[in-house]
Amino acid sequence: MFLHLALLLGAVMAAASALAQDAPQRAPFITTPDEVVVEMLKLAGAGPEDYVIDLGSGDGRIVITAAQRFGARGLGVDLDEKLVDLSRENARRAGLAERAEFRVQDALNTDLSRAGVVTIYLLPQLIGRLQPRVLDEMRPGARVVTHAFYMQSWKPDEVRKVRLAQRHAGQGDESTIYLWIVPAKARGEWRARLPALGELNLRIHQNFQEIEIESSGDGGGFRVEKATLRGDAITWSGTLERAGRRLEQRFSGRVHPERIEGELTIAGQDSARLVATRAR
Ligand SMILES: C[S@@+](CC[C@H](N)C(=O)[O-])C[C@H]1O[C@@H](n2cnc3c(N)ncnc32)[C@H](O)[C@@H]1O
């Protein structure tokens, strides 16, 4: 009897939690102050070649400013139909209806693959659900700027504080904005052959743009001490052994889906092309 009750309770809780997960999650409507909107778009490096998506677009100010002052095009999505109507009206009045589009849509169901820039002023719980989508859908080098809240367990590429002209309901007299540059997927095992040094295995550990590289193989006591990843641009510095001497080595290249390719410089002078392919 007790077991039946426990099973029933478990099933009800699981169903309730599944429902809570499926229900669109609402963040309240609070506007980003205009001076912060401009700083967010500057921090993202938004420009005419960018498609800007604002997730939870409120009165449309971020997408409209991106079109008006940065020459971008964009899309704002919001669950609130009235705010979407207001945004369309604001875009129309600014003569930007063609370049600033608005839809009634859940941020969690919005395709991010087209965006060069995504802006977010939503609650942390919603942001947490968007994080895997940022990595899976956005291309390396695309930028996300969050206002007030950050992405859990990732390190921002840049943090900026913006002093406000007037106190703000959500943020007091200062807003914090965070830049996240989408990194290439570098995690995993890679294999390269270096002239005169032999086979080199690289194991890359990755958490967003933070990477660590372990090396093994005959590659001449190859060690990586410091590595960076920004979009698809990867660099590292370390040492290797040649003719019994430990020499400094530096690499600068790009991460592609199936290969890492770039220039390895040894002892500041000899340089060689290094191509590593994914080990299966
Ligand atoms: C804090 S306001 C930000 C508005 C605007 N982005 C800005 O920065 O001025 C959050 C907006 O997100 C909308 N919103 C909340 N949850 C959402 C969701 N799951 N999908 C789409 N919009 C959502 C709300 O209706 C509200 O307009």
Spell out the alpha helix ranges (H) of the chain.
2-22, 34-43, 61-70, 81-93, 124-137
Model's pTM, two decimal places? 0.88
Condensed to tens digits (0 to 9), the pLDDT of residues 23-65 reads 445 778 899 999 999 999 999 999 999 999 999 999 999 999 9
| Main-chain dihedrals φ then ψ at residue 67, nearest 5 degrees | -75, -45
Q: How far is the CA of 118 from the centre of ligand 1 (A)?
A: 13
Condensed to tens digits (0 to 9), the pLDDT of residues 240-272 reads 988 888 999 999 999 999 999 999 999 888 898
User: Would you state the pLDDT for residue 16?
Assistant: 36
Tell me which residue range forms the domain holding 262.
188-278
Q: Do 93 and 211 belong together in one domain?
A: no
End residue of a domain, out of 121, 156, 181: 181
Sheet holding 245-255, edge to edge: 210-217, 198-207, 188-194, 270-278, 259-266, 245-255, 233-242, 223-230
Condensed to tens digits (0 to 9), the pLDDT of residues 95-133 reads 999 999 999 999 999 999 999 999 999 999 999 999 999
Three state DSSP letters for 30-57:
CCCCHHHHHHHHHHCCCCCCCEEEEECC
Q: Do residues 127 and 149 touch, judged by C-beta distance below 8 A?
A: yes
Band (pLDDT 50/70/90 cuts) for residue 66 is very high
> Going by DSSP bridges, is the β-strand pair 143-147/117-120 parallel, antiparallel, or unpaired?
parallel
> What single-letter DSSP state applies at residue 272?
E
Q: Is the CB of 86 under 6 A from ligand 1?
A: no
6 pLDDT more than 70: no
Q: How far is the CA of 71 from the centre of ligand 1 (A)?
A: 23
Q: Do 99 and 152 belong together in one domain?
A: yes
> Considering the chain, what percentage of its residues have pLDDT values greater than 90?
77
- Residue 7 placed within a domain: no
- Residue 9 placed within a domain: no
What distance in Å separates the CA atoms of residue 183 and residue 231, rounded to the nearest whole number? 4
Q: Do 29 and 101 belong together in one domain?
A: yes
- Residue 38 placed within a domain: yes
Q: Is 247 exposed, middle or buried (0-12, 13-18, 19+ CB in 10 A)?
A: middle
- Residue 159 placed within a domain: yes
Q: Which of 79, 105, 119, 168 to mutate to test the pocket of ligand 1 (most atoms within 8 A of CB)?
A: 79
Q: Do 201 and 268 belong together in one domain?
A: yes
21 pLDDT more than 60: no
User: Would you state the pLDDT for residue 220?
Assistant: 63
Q: Do 203 and 166 belong together in one domain?
A: no
User: Would you state the pLDDT for residue 269?
Assistant: 86
Supply the residue whose CA is at minimum distance from atom 26 of ligand 1. Answer: 29
What distance in Å separates the CA atoms of residue 183 and residue 209, rounded to the nearest whole number? 5
CA of residue 61 relative to chain centroid, distance: 22
What distance in Å separates the CA atoms of residue 86 and residue 88, rounded to the nearest whole number? 5
Instruction: Give me the CATH number covering residue 211.
Output: 2.40.128
Q: Is the CB of 145 under 6 A from ligand 1?
A: no
What distance in Å separates the CA atoms of residue 92 and residue 60, rounded to the nearest whole number? 11
Q: Is the CB of 79 under 6 A from ligand 1?
A: yes
Band (pLDDT 50/70/90 cuts) for residue 278 is very high
Q: How far is the CA of 269 from the centre of ligand 1 (A)?
A: 53
Q: How far is the CA of 121 from the centre of ligand 1 (A)?
A: 7
Strand partners, 71: none
Q: How far is the CA of 49 from the centre of ligand 1 (A)?
A: 25
Q: Which atom of ligand 1 is nearest to the CA of 77?
A: 21
